[in-house]
Structure 1
């Protein structure tokens, strides 16, 4: 009778290694999901707070413009104070719109370098084939 071998076969070792590797990968994926979920929650809270701050800031600007119109009303009729503030706001809005339009015209959203490189790759493959 031959003594019983306690050594494992290569197939058993490969199967165990594969199982262990799958467990590690699944654990890493679960950790990544948890980190992303936690980060997304913090980003959502931060975005909400910034949105609230922007809203309150806009309300503050409205009150600032009302105050400015009332101050001008010390020397002019109230309607004239509001007219001056309104015209000033439209001038600022027009200047910002022109600056924004110029910025958009200068922007090149198409990935020109990537397109050119892709065309070069296709040409090189056609040339080799």
Structure 2
């Protein structure tokens, strides 16, 4: 508490002046005292900030994609190895079936039966695969929708 002359009656010294708070910085680094920017400067700052944001998002996506591609590459390599092993297993199992059938019929007929069996399996798998491909939608409707929403948001920010 100070007296009428600005002197603190308890201490007998002049009261300290209150220190005004420091101006707060805005997101673009400008201070609150710089609120009298022109519309062009504001739009320029917004454009710069939006460009920076897009570049950072693209860099993040690139980094994430690289990490995921590495994982996917390892997985694909292992699946390729499994496919080769499966093919060898299939070939040897086909020979085993043919030689098993050879006990009851000529070897040529046994191999023909085994071949016809695998031809039937291949036909069924091809028909199922064709049906699944016809069901697929390469248009990516959800991605297109979110891209349209992002573009609408960016247009709204410009105006």
TM-score, normalized by length of structure 2? 0.46
Runs (5+) with no aligned partner, structure 2: 1-21, 31-44, 143-159
User: Relative to structure 1, is the Cα distance of residues 54 and 73 closer, same or farther in structure 2, using a 3 angstrom cutoff?
Assistant: same
2:110 is the alignment partner of 1:81: yes
Structure with the bigger percentage of helix: 1
SS of the equivalent of 1:16 reads coil
For 2:132 and 2:67, the matched residues in 1 are separated by 36
Residues in 2 aligned to 1:108 and 1:40: alpha-carbon distance in whole angstroms: 23
Q: Where do residues 8-47 of structure 1 align in structure 2 (5 Å cutoff)?
A: 16=29, 30-47=59-76
**Is there any run of 5+ residues in structure 1 with no aligned partner, and where?**
1-6, 115-129
Change beyond 3 A, Cα 1:97–1:31: closer
1:48 matched to 2:77? The reply is yes
Mapping of 1:99-114 within 5 angstroms? 99-101=128-130, 103=131, 107=135, 109=137
Residue 121 of structure 2 corresponds to residue 92 of structure 1: yes
**TM-score in terms of structure 1 length:** 0.55
Residue correspondences, number: 101
Deviations 1:21-72 (A, max 9, x none): 79x9577765554333222111111111111111211121111111100111
- Which structure has the bigger radius of gyration? 2
Question: What is the match of residue 67 of structure 1?
Answer: 96
